[in-house]
Amino acid sequence: MALTLAASGKLIIHDLMTNGYFPDRIIPPVNALGITVALPDMMKHIRPIMLGMLAKQANKLRSRCVTHSVPKRKHLRRSLSIPNPLHQLMAAAQIAHDWKDIYKFCRQSPLSLSMPVLGTDRAVESQNDLNKQPFFRAQRSVGARFLLKTDIARFYPSIYTHSIPWALHGKAAARADKKYALFGNRIDLWTRESQDKQTGGIPIGPDTSFIIGEIIGTALDLELQKKLPNIKGTRSIDDYNLYLGSISEAETALAVLHGVAKQYELEINDPKTEIISLPDRFEPAWKSDLRGLVIRDSGQPQATDLLSLFDRAYEHAKNFPTDNVLTYAAKQVLSAKLAEENWIFCESLLLRAALGEPTMLSVVGDVYDHYPAFHKNNGALTSALESICSYHAPLQQGNEVSWALWLAKKMGVFISRTVGDKIAAVDDDIVALIGLDLIERGFLQTSKLTLWRSRMNATHLYEDHWLLAYEAHEHGWAVAKTDYIANDEFFSILQKHGVRFYGGNLAPTASYYGYSDDGDVPDETEEFIEDEPEVTPI
């Protein structure tokens, strides 16, 4: 059934600034849920700033995003971003205000499976989750003989912020708008301000960026449809599966897609482009194989099943190094009924797998939660967590280190000084926060805090360590001689309301440029600032 416009509902600033703000791959105690109480006063503070920026008055207050390195696929990394709350609130306010128009625009896509809709775990989510997408691909591939499979190279990092209004309003109209009358130009402005006025790329992680990505993706789809009216296929974020009748049609579609992407300053990912003769699999072989395995309920049969599961998972992981095969196997364990007599063996299999795929540590934590009575000794867990930290800390791979430290806190694991000194050299705010917490609790030893302490001052409140600068002061970990939070007009609002972005009591989050310098702010802009969607129902 086709979605109606009413199905879009009302997107509110509160949702974008709480469960839609921080990326969903960071450790649970780091989130923005505590910002709720401060939002009304934050909005009062930023309104005049936004008006001044739209009027092109001098604005020296720019900011940079906190970055957090996560694994993308083997030997490749991705940097997630946490924008400064000052400029992120500007972007959230604009997108919430114009949500109905954005939703209406994205609904036009003939290909998208990832159209943004109001979410439950996040502020917005894809209309279709990954598990449902094979069904759509099956339906849309009927009658086709070839599949063109491709994606956009470095999609979020290569989005040109000016292409946001190009997509929504057309390039000519966007360039002719000298007074920010078009909301696409305002989204462009706020996005750029959150990353030190850079036009190249958008932050990866916030739901505002997911929405922007879908705006760009929809524009690509519509241009593709104009040139190839009978095109059939799917797009999920930036992944295309197009279904054609012949190789020549597939080659033509690829050439057209190259041209369409270029209009928006994007490039097709040639190494990942394939033309495949149909029929072909809709999901990788490893998933079908592991899904079919049964883990019996007790005794030696269960131990044999566990061994078989992980042996096959290890083999599949070698053949599919870009997929989270071992994490999938860990979830199979979580859904089984584990016998206590097999606990030590199962724990060994899980921890052995975690060394090769540390992203599964969140699932390992769930397994420990599920069988608390079985776990009586931290010896194996300590060895595994220290090994993960020792390996990934010197490589500055913050995601793996932070998840290991989070599990250490959860399970009461002590980290030695030798490993602690390596952790303290990781220049990552998420690692620093969980590390400082463990030091305070006596679970982590290190004497090398010079790096983290150098970020705990007023200078970094609008730089790429704003999160550590704010949280360290509010938790009492900073050694500053003055209350630099109270002395800052914006962050003092958060302080007054007791906002914390790190804490064990917080629930987890379940993932500009003016074309002219002249002219006044139009009346429509004034109305936007004053009549901005209500923040009070928080």
Give the CA-trace dihedral at 396, 399, 402, 407, to 10 degrees. Answer: -140
Tell me which residue of 536, 527, 462 sits closest to 186, measured CA to CA: 527
Give the CA-trace dihedral at 375, 378, 384, 387, to 10 degrees. Answer: 170
* Element containing residue 264 per DSSP (H, E): none
On whether the CB atoms of residues 323 and 360 are closer than 8 A, the answer is no
How far is residue 462's CA from residue 158's CA, in Å, rounded to a whole number?
Answer: 23
Predicted confidence (pLDDT) per residue in 322-381, tens digit: 899 999 999 999 999 999 999 999 999 999 999 999 989 999 999 999 999 999 999 999
Q: Is the pTM of this model over 0.75?
A: yes
Q: What are phi and psi of 244, to 5 degrees?
A: -130, 165
**Which residues, 6+ apart, have CB-to-CB distance to 368 below 8 Å?**
375, 407, 410, 411
How far is residue 459's CA from residue 514's CA, in Å, rounded to a whole number?
Answer: 27
Termini Cα distance of the chain: 32
DSSP code per residue over 397-415 = -HHHHHHHHHHHHHHTPPB
What confidence score (pLDDT) does residue 285 get?
Answer: 92
What confidence score (pLDDT) does residue 479 get?
Answer: 87
How far is residue 119's CA from residue 19's CA, in Å, rounded to a whole number?
Answer: 10
Predicted confidence (pLDDT) per residue in 187-237, tens digit: 999 999 999 999 999 999 999 999 999 999 999 999 999 999 999 999 999
Per-residue confidence band for 269, with pLDDT thresholds at 50, 70 and 90: very high
How far is residue 357's CA from residue 119's CA, in Å, rounded to a whole number?
Answer: 29
Tell me which residue of 351, 388, 387 sits closest to 368, measured CA to CA: 351
What confidence score (pLDDT) does residue 6 get?
Answer: 39
Helix, strand or coil for residue 497?
coil
Tell me which residue of 410, 408, 409, 405 sits closest to 424, measured CA to CA: 405
Question: What is the Rg, in whole angstroms, of the alpha carbon atoms belonging to the chain?
Answer: 25
- For the record, the structure tokens of 55 come out as 């009027």
- For the record, the structure tokens of 296 come out as 């019996």
Buried b (16+ CB within 10 A) or exposed e, 178-200: ebbbbbbbbbbbbbbbbbeebbe
**Which residues, 6+ apart, have CB-to-CB distance to 318 below 8 Å?**
none
Per-residue confidence band for 58, with pLDDT thresholds at 50, 70 and 90: low
What confidence score (pLDDT) does residue 61 get?
Answer: 80
On whether the CB atoms of residues 32 and 20 are closer than 8 A, the answer is no
Query: In Å, how far from its chain's centre is CA 511?
Result: 4
Cis status of the peptide bond prior to 279, with omega within 30 of 0: yes
Tell me which residue of 277, 192, 79 sits closest to 513, measured CA to CA: 192
Query: Stretch 411-434: mean pLDDT, rounded?
Result: 98
Helix then strand count (H, E) for the chain reads 24, 8
Q: What are phi and psi of 155, to 5 degrees?
A: -55, -65
Predicted confidence (pLDDT) per residue in 109-149, tens digit: 999 999 999 999 999 999 998 888 999 999 999 999 999 99
